């Protein structure tokens, strides 16, 4: 069995005249893996997607899509793309849309129509797309992207405009697709929702990849602290602080910053004062903390 990544990008640079949209970007996505691509507007996320699809010619670097060059017939059979702003002919039904794209991809329409059940809109298969909600159109777009069981799925802001329930259901579908072996590369500004639904993250700042890896590893490398908040029982916070130290938050609580290596020792010390401690809350670094840290580094590097 090959362990080569489905998507492998090495030293990718893309320029539009004097503007460097991407500079020496490298990243990879393996089968069954979900990689979140993060960055402000203009960071280069959409440019990277277009290069992977073969729409843009790199100035330098290499892209491999399941061993094939972007834009070739082999790569097109492997990759599917779901853009942020998806549009289908409003007069067609969902079933007609899927039939059309199935024929374009050389897949049996009957088999492709079953994807409407997979994404949860089978009951609307014969309704016109013009009557669909935003969430239903996104699901139809995902069904279209899944025709032919692609090995690589590119998702550009896939939950933009969806309500919280629809977002959760959409990511549930992505989890299932990845579990079945597809490599997933998605971009999103919604850090909270991708934090628990991706395996690794990559951060772009002004066309440069400034970080890539697991959230815990990036937080550790950045020495971002774990925050421990301790609430006192029926005494004031001054007594709690006198015994434990830390920062006063309010009348009954204190707060500590600690490294992952110091966390157990701190919790043991807190537990030894259980006579005055009512509650303990442990908050490890979140994705927004990691993103803010590495984005700041990238911005500082560009400014320099």
User: Domains in the chain, start-ordered, CATH in brackets?
Assistant: 7-219 (3.40.50.300), 225-284 (3.30.70.1150)
| Average pLDDT over every residue of 101-123 | 89
pLDDT on residue 1: 39
Span 95-123, average pLDDT: 90
- Relative to beta strand 34-38, strand 152-156 is unpaired
- Measured in whole angstroms, how far is the alpha carbon of residue 77 from the centre of its chain? 23
Give the pLDDT of residue 302: 46
Q: What is the DSSP letter of 286?
A: P
Q: In the prediction, which pLDDT does 225 show?
A: 92
pLDDT tops 80 at residue 154: yes
Instruction: Quote the pLDDT of residue 16.
Output: 93
Burial label for 59, CB within 10 Å (0-12, 13-18, 19+), is middle
Contact 160, 168 (CB under 8 A): no
pLDDT of residue 250: 80
Contact criterion met (CB below 8 Å) for 77 and 69: no
For residue 267, what are the contacts with CB-CB under 8 A and spacing of at least 6? 228, 280, 282
| Per-residue model confidence (pLDDT) at position 196 | 86
Distance CA(197)–CA(202), nearest Å, equals: 14
Contact (CB, 8 A) for 251 and 231: no
Average pLDDT, the chain: 90
- Residues 6-43: tens digit of each pLDDT: 999 999 999 999 899 999 999 999 999 999 999 998 89
Q: Give me the pLDDT at residue 298, please.
A: 56
Q: What is the pLDDT of residues 186-209, one digit of tens each?
A: 998 888 888 888 999 999 999 999
- Considering only 51-60, 77-86, 234-243, which range has the smallest mean pLDDT? 234-243
What would the two tokens of residue 287 be?
């994705």
Reported as a single tens digit per residue, the pLDDT across 49-64 is 999 999 999 999 999 9
Instruction: Return d(Cα 133, Cα 123) in angstroms, integer.
Output: 14
Q: Which helix (H) or strand (E) holds 65?
A: strand 60-65
Beta bridge partners of 68: 65
* pLDDT, position 87: 87
Note the pTM of the prediction, 2 decimals: 0.83
What percent of the chain stands above pLDDT 90?
63
Structural Rg of the chain based on CA atoms: 24
pLDDT above 90 for 272: yes
Q: Residue 100 has what pLDDT?
A: 93
3-state SS string for 78-146: HEEEECCCCCCCCCCEHHHHHHHHHHHCCCCHHHHHHHHHHCCCHHHCCCEHHHCCHHHHHHHHHHHHC
Range of lowest pLDDT (102-116, 117-131, 146-160, 287-301): 287-301
pLDDT, average across residues 176-184: 92
pLDDT for 299? 55
Phi and psi at residue 38, to the nearest 5°: -115, 150
């Amino acid at each position: 069995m090959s362990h080569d990544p489905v998507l492998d990008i090495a030293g990718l640079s893309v320029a539009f005249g004097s503007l460097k949209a991407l500079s020496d970007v490298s990243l990879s996505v393996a089968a069954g893996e979900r990689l979140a691509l993060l960055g402000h507007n203009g960071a280069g996320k959409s440019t990277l997607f277009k290069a992977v699809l073969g729409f843009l010619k790199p100035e330098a670097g290499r892209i491999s899509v399941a061993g094939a060059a972007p834009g070739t017939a082999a790569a097109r059979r492997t990759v599917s793309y779901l853009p942020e702003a998806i549009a289908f002919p409003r007069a067609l039904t969902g079933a007609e849309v899927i039939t059309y794209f199935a024929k374009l991809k050389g897949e049996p329409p009957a088999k492709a129509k079953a994807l409407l059940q997979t994404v949860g809109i089978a009951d609307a298969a014969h309704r016109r797309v013009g009557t669909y909600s935003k969430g239903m159109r996104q699901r139809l777009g995902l069904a279209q992207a899944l025709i032919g069981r692609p090995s690589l799925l590119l998702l550009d802001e896939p939950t933009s405009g969806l309500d919280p329930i629809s977002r959760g259901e959409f990511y549930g579908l992505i989890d299932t697709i990845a579990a079945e072996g597809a490599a997933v590369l998605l971009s999103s500004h919604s850090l909270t929702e991708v934090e628990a639904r991706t395996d690794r993250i990559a951060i772009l700042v002004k066309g440069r990849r400034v970080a890539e890896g697991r959230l815990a590893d990036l937080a550790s490398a950045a020495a971002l602290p774990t925050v421990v908040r301790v609430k006192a029982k029926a005494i004031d916070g001054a007594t709690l602080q006198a015994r434990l130290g830390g920062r006063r938050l309010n009348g009954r609580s204190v707060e500590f910053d600690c490294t992952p290596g110091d966390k157990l020792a701190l919790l043991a010390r807190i537990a030894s004062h259980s006579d005055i401690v009512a509650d303990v809350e442990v908050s490890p670094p979140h994705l927004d903390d990691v993103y803010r840290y590495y984005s700041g580094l990238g911005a500082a590097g560009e400014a320099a």
